[in-house]
Amino acid sequence: MTTAVGQRQFTDPCKTKTRTSAHEDQCDLYYECFDGQAVLQSCPNGLVYLGKRTQGLFGVCDYDFNADCTDRPNRSLAQQPQQPDPCDRKTRVVGDVTYCDRYWECVSGIPQLYDCPNGLVFVGRNRGIAEGCDYPWRGAYCDGKQLANPPISSEHCDWLYGIFGHETSCTRYWTCWNGTATEQFCIGGLLYNEETHACDWPQNVGGCQKHPLCKDDPNANVPLGKSCERYWACQGGYPRLQRCPATLVFDKQSRRCVHPPTVDCEVPTTTPPPEGELGGFQGNDNRNFAGPRPQRRRPLPPARNDPLPDEGRFAPDNSLPFRSDNRPIGPLQPQGGNIRPPPIPGALPLN
């Protein structure tokens, strides 16, 4: 049974092989047969009716560059924006218009749909940490879009790929790569910030207790074991590793950098080489030098009472290497590899 409506005739879907038929005017609508009755259906956002169930990405629907909709000129607002064809792009890759964790790539002249690794979103060719995909918090990549895939979790990992806070410590976090978690440390007095996914100053991180080193005085200087040069400077209840200026030592009684000697630290001594070790040196003026050379001494700087700029990371067990700047240190980022996922099953458009 057919009835003339507008520019196209209605076709009874119950009499077709796919049990569906195209709408008379709109490309994203179609009819489907239920209990012998034609029921109006709509394609997912951005897709159009294709009419071939074995080829469509979503049932009988697909992206507009794979479907012929010239006989139905009216298009709904739900189809905007339209999915670009990656084969028309110089990069041969384009993000999906609906899902931020999917992208299309032109392979041998045919668009193929790919999923980003679980937990990552598409950011562009030759960008991100893995096959054009990156962490979603690094940009507004999902504005106006949604995720096609649910999270796949493993121990310590909410997604297979990502950076996640530690369950019991504010100074630790987990980096997850394909579901494998690696424990990392925020050092130099920094804490892990769940909002920025980075190590941050304590004043920017809520919900964490003060460090026991600074429990007596949140702004005191604390000795570092038997070290004469290094000490902990508590700032707001969190310790930051400091070093006294050259020629000064840390006095454990006054909690300041002072001129030696102190009760625990002596004046550094330099043992001269044996007499005559430098003898026999022949200069350009043919004068012989014997014995050790006189040492030049720099004037000693005045003692300082204020804590010095942070020049190292804080590690509870003092076993990690230190770095020489006081900027917040972001979590270690795993390096991307050639781990392109296989095309989504059934998503290969056939022309």
Give tens-digit pLDDT for 215-247.
788 888 988 888 888 888 887 777 778 889 988
Say whether pLDDT at 323 is over 90.
no
- Supply the pLDDT for residue 69: 72
Give the β-pairing of 191-193 and 238-243: unpaired
- 349 pLDDT band (50/70/90 cuts)? very low
Same domain, 42 and 106: no
Q: Is the domain of 71 the same as that of 20?
A: yes
Average pLDDT over every residue of 134-152: 88
- Residue 27, domain member (yes or no): yes
Which amino acid, 53?
A: R
The domain that contains 55 carries what CATH number? 2.170.140
78, pLDDT greater than 80: no
Question: Looking at the 3D structure of the chain, how many domains does it have?
Answer: 2
Helix extents (H) in 164-299: none
The string of DSSP codes covering 328-342 is --PPPPPPP-S-PPP
Higher pLDDT, 32 or 318: 32
Mean pLDDT value of segment 164-179: 90
Tell me, what's the pLDDT at 6? 44
pLDDT of 206 reads 79
| Greater model confidence, 39 or 186 | 186
Lowest mean pLDDT among 79-83, 163-167, 252-256: 79-83
Chain segment 116-136, per-residue pLDDT in tens: 999 999 998 878 888 889 999
Does residue 60 form part of some domain?
yes
Q: Is 216 helix (H, G, I), strand (E, B) or coil?
A: coil
- Asked if the structure places residue 74 within a domain, the reply is yes
**Is 90 among the domain residues?**
yes
- Chosen domain end from 79, 95, 126: 79
- Give the span between the Cα atoms of 153 and 155, in whole angstroms: 7
- The token pair at 282 is 């022949």
Residues 65 and 94 in one domain: no
**What pLDDT is attached to residue 258?**
92
93, β-bridge pairs:
105
Q: What are residue 29's DSSP bridge partners?
A: 42
Rounded distance, CA 107 to CA 286, Å? 79
Confidence of residue 161 (pLDDT cuts 50, 70, 90): very high
Whether this prediction's pTM lies above 0.85 is answered by no
Q: Using 50, 70 and 90 to split pLDDT, how confident is the model at 189?
A: confident
Residue 1 scores a pLDDT above 90: no
Phi, psi of 88 (to 5 degrees): -95, -5
pLDDT score of 347: 52
75 shares a domain with 24: yes
Quote the mean pLDDT of the chain.
Answer: 74
- Shared domain for 65 and 126, answered yes or no, is no
Structural domain harbouring 104: 86-138
- Domain annotation covers residue 106: yes
Same domain, 124 and 62: no
Task: Answer yes or no: do 72 and 110 share one domain.
Answer: no
Are the C-beta atoms of residues 185 and 177 closer than 8 Å to each other?
A: no
pLDDT band per the 50, 70, 90 thresholds, residue 75 = low
Residue 337 zone, left/alpha/beta (φ > 0; ψ -120 to 50; rest)? beta
Provide, rounded to the nearest whole percent, the portion of the chain with pLDDT above 90: 15
> Residue 39 domain-assigned?
yes
pLDDT band at 32 (very low <50, low <70, confident <90, very high): confident
Q: Are the C-beta atoms of residues 103 and 96 closer than 8 Å to each other?
A: yes
pLDDT value at position 183? 95
Assess contact for 231 and 222: CB atoms under 8 A. Answer: yes
* Residue 217 domain flag: no
Domain membership of residue 181 (yes or no) is no
- Residue 158, judged by CB atoms within 10 A of its CB (0-12, 13-18, 19+), counts as middle
Q: How confident is the model at residue 164 (pLDDT cuts 50, 70, 90)?
A: very high
Share of the chain above pLDDT 70, in %: 66
How far apart, in whole angstroms, are the C-alpha atoms of residue 101 and residue 115? 6
